[in-house]
Amino acid sequence: MSATEGLSELDTAPGRTNRLDTVALATEQPDDAQPYAELGLKDDEYARIREILGRRPTTAELAMYSVMWSEHCSYKSSKVHLRRFGDLPKSDALLVGMGENAGVVDVGEGYAVTFKVESHNHPSYVEPYQGAATGVGGIVRDILTMGARPIAVMDSLRFGRADAPDTARVLPGVVAGVGGYGNCLGLPNIGGELLFDDCYAGNPLVNALCVGVLRHEELQLAKAEGVGNKVVLFGARTGGDGIGGVSVLASETFDAEGPAKRPAVQVGDPFTEKLLIEACLEIFAAGLVTGIQDLGGAGISCATSELAAAGSGGMAIDLDAVPLRDSTLTPAEILMSESQERMCAIVEPDKVEAFLAVCAKWDVLATVIGEVTDGDRLTIDWHGERIIDVPPRTVALEGPRYERPMSRPADLDALQADTPPSSSADLRADWLAVVSSPDGADKSWVTEQYDRYVRGNTVLAQPEDAGVLRIDESSNLGIALSLDGNARYARLDPYTGAQLNLAEAYRNVAVSGAKPLAVTNCLNFGSPENPEVMWQFAEAVRGLADGCRELGLPVTGGNVSLYNQTGDVAINPTPVIGVLGVHADVTRRVPTGWRADGESVLLLGETRPEFGGSAWAAVVHGHLGGLPPRLDLAAERSLGEVLTSLAADGLVSSAHDLADGGLAQALTESALRYGTGARLNVTGDPTAALFGESVARVVVTTADPAAVRAVAEAAGVPVTELGTTGGDALVLDGLLELPLAELRAAWTATLPALFGSPEVAVGTVPAGTVPTS
């Protein structure tokens, strides 16, 4: 049964046909049976609601608790583990930590940056375009809610096998949705990930990041204070889309036999969101709000209960005032609707007029729907009758918490004992196979669908290791961001895997020349009701927390997405980690591509024969087993400091981190970026040298190798001279020679071959499309 069916049954339950379920009725008829199970509530959760209220909940209250106590909103399975992030040492840079809509970090010169990554996995599988589009829209509103102007987005995408028929259904829609929404909002897409694995076949991952910038004094908080202050709902009208999205989609496992869940996916309107952004920023600048919250998962239920719970008083809402798209919606549906592009503000009475005037200027609908009261209750009336009367903290903050059972996956010992192959039979063929695999191949098919230029501050964007943005045009202050999540490593060892992902994102930010500053994360896992999944989750959180402690970085917030599985099969644990760095001077940024001939190519870091979870083992041997590469955060830290220093002194002309696909992948990307080859000489075991994935390694080019060597060795970072840039081939002496034309053909052909070539015949116009005047 779907959530909407459950609700319509609520309103027509025997004995209550066509009669509004009010607080009075709930008291009068305490024993009415209620379909809480269909709304995702367990027996003991329902019992607790009855205990809190001292009676049965009304239909509307049941709807509100069911969405707010869902896994998605309450973090009931993950909260006991996420506490580890809060236990990290205090960071001076952190202005607002976890618990608000997004963390806020001081980046200097009076600027602050807020950033967060969030999943929209399940909606994107059900309806790829709208699911992905509204994923972008939701995270952008979280950033806006902090008082920041959103300045860029990133996307981290995972699909089933690239040649699977359903991937051809899901991927083009997701990419078009991410692009369609972000492009129309005027936010540059500055990077992300695109990866394929069978484990995502019935459960793709769509994680979207947004970053925003504000002055310290512009910070806004989501709380309702001040008795008599007005509650203003503004933005789009409320419709029937996305009802029960969080409880139905995000908190349940997909069942191949189940009913179609399309009605629970929201529909996006980026034009309205663009107007909402501009209106909000004008409202913030004029000091017209005392608190603000966006409406996302759980809609009005979430916004009103969270605003009230964070404040010191209560709140009274008149639900009849909510502007509707569909006048037949029941009160419970209005409360649960996840219609997009809506915000809720707390406004002092004498500022309401000015508030409404700004909204009118931007053609944004704004309506006073209630006010802050001096009690400790959240009350909601409908047609003059009270349908909700609850303590808001019990809805928003005091949801259930579970210490779910955990057990190490039974197959993990066997998996770790299954060591990967370690010798390539044909280095050249393997090289081409790795870089032309869907994971290794050129991503232009995707990234050309994203605007990377809008706002004019994009210094680096995909395919660079990190996205780099200018924040201030006069001082050239800027930031760098990278999102990384190797799920193969996390499958082999979730504790180390999460740290390796953190290390990669950290390294990518450092490669651009930035100093890493703070961490966000999106933790994508299977069902928490499976003890093996819960163990993976707990291990990943423990790993990430330990890694952040060692690197001295705070976790500013994040998102947990559970129930990512189809039937009994969970996805590989996929902790996607975002690292934010700061550039004192973005003109010193370091790109990944080689431009000049005759420069020295140096490898920083140490190479070991490590193939567990590697791209080479997966692509060439279809193998996943053994242990992931050895983690060395001290080496990462030293390397990061060396890279930041080399960039500041202008000593390197390019830098590229070594990750999936090892040296072969990195050299391919650096050479093809601007069509500059190199003659190189690698020593030691060639398979390890080319395809091993030892961490804390970076390839740099420089006109002054002695200076680079001196800086690196002073920090204890090993340096290997590989050779010199130039020519139109990658030549590895004694091993292989790859003409760039051949390499480029292999690298660029893969995605267009899978998802369609977007080229069109020049100058042709299909018949019937030519205007006649």
Q: Closest Cα partner for 216 from 93, 345, 99, 311?
A: 93
Q: Does 760 bind other proteins (CB under 8 A)?
A: yes
Note if 120 is an active site residue: yes
Q: Does 769 bind other proteins (CB under 8 A)?
A: yes
Which parts of 357-376 interact with other proteins (CB under 8 A)?
Answer: 362-363
With contacts defined by CB under 8 A, name the span among 179-187, 376-384, 628-636, 690-698 that binds other proteins.
179-187
With contacts defined by CB under 8 A, name the span among 207-215, 453-461, 557-565, 710-718 that binds other proteins.
453-461
The least CB distance from residue 589 to other proteins, in Å, is 8
Distance CA 68, CA 392 (A): 11
Q: Does 179 bind other proteins (CB under 8 A)?
A: yes
Distance CA 482, CA 563 (A): 26
Q: Does 451 bind other proteins (CB under 8 A)?
A: yes
With contacts defined by CB under 8 A, name the span among 128-136, 184-192, 406-414, 659-667 that binds other proteins.
184-192
Nearer to other proteins, 284 or 611 (CB): 284
Would strands 729-732 and 678-680 be described as parallel, antiparallel, or unpaired?
A: parallel
Distance CA 305, CA 395 (A): 6
Distance CA 136, CA 119 (A): 9
The least CB distance from residue 520 to other proteins, in Å, is 25
Distance CA 501, CA 715 (A): 23
User: Between the CA of residue 511 and those of 299, 467, 704, what are the distances in Å?
Assistant: 40, 11, 18
Nearer to other proteins, 3 or 469 (CB): 469
Nearer to other proteins, 272 or 437 (CB): 272
User: Between the CA of residue 178 and those of 135, 249, 529, what are the distances in Å?
Assistant: 8, 19, 31
Q: Write the DSSP string, 145-162.
A: HTTPEEEEEEEEEEES-T
The least CB distance from residue 114 to other proteins, in Å, is 20
Binding-site residue positions for ATP: 75, 116, 521, 558
Looking up tokens 């989501």, which residue turns up?
Answer: 222
37-72 burial code (b ≥16 CB/10 A, e <16):
ebbbbeeebbebbeebbebbbbbbbbbbbbbbbbbb
Binding-site residue positions: 75, 116, 118-122, 141-142, 266, 294, 338-340, 521, 558-559, 561
Q: Does 183 bind other proteins (CB under 8 A)?
A: yes
The secondary structure of residue 56, as a DSSP letter, is P
Provide the mask over 425-444, with x wherever binding to other proteins is found by CB under 8 A and - wherever it is not.
Answer: -------------------x
Which parts of 124-143 interact with other proteins (CB under 8 A)?
Answer: none
The least CB distance from residue 362 to other proteins, in Å, is 7
Which parts of 246-275 interact with other proteins (CB under 8 A)?
Answer: 269-272, 274-275
- Beta-carbon neighbour count of residue 388 at 10 Å? 28
Number of residues that bind other proteins (CB under 8 A): 48
Establish how many alpha carbons lie within 13 A of residue 719's alpha carbon, considering only the half-sphere containing its beta carbon: 22
Binding-site residue positions for Mg(2+): 118, 142, 294, 559
DSSP bridge partners of 317: 370, 380
Q: Does 14 bind other proteins (CB under 8 A)?
A: no
The DSSP H or E segment spanning 106 is: strand 103-108
Distance CA 611, CA 646 (A): 30
With contacts defined by CB under 8 A, name the span among 430-438, 600-608, 633-641, 756-764 that binds other proteins.
756-764
> Which residues are within 8 A (CB) of 253 and not within 5 positions of it... i.e. 6 or more apart?
527, 563, 565, 566, 567
Q: What distance lies between CA 125 and its chain's CA centroid?
A: 16
Distance CA 377, CA 314 (A): 5
Q: Does 450 bind other proteins (CB under 8 A)?
A: yes
The least CB distance from residue 220 to other proteins, in Å, is 22
Q: Does 33 bind other proteins (CB under 8 A)?
A: no
Q: Which of 327, 328, 474, 773 binds other proteins (CB under 8 A)?
A: 773
Q: Which of 33, 256, 762, 767 binds other proteins (CB under 8 A)?
A: 762
Question: Helix crossing, 427-436 with 662-674: angle to 10°?
Answer: 70
Distance CA 538, CA 544 (A): 10
Q: Which of 26, 210, 586, 730 binds other proteins (CB under 8 A)?
A: 586
Q: Which of 211, 322, 459, 514 binds other proteins (CB under 8 A)?
A: 459
Provide the mask over 676-715, with x wherever binding to other proteins is found by CB under 8 A and - wherever it is not.
Answer: ----------------------------------------
With contacts defined by CB under 8 A, name the span among 85-93, 531-539, 719-727, 752-760 that binds other proteins.
752-760
Catalytic residues: 72, 120
Residues in touch with other proteins (CB under 8 A): 176, 179-180, 183-186, 269-272, 274-275, 362-363, 444, 447-459, 470, 473, 586-587, 757-766, 769-773
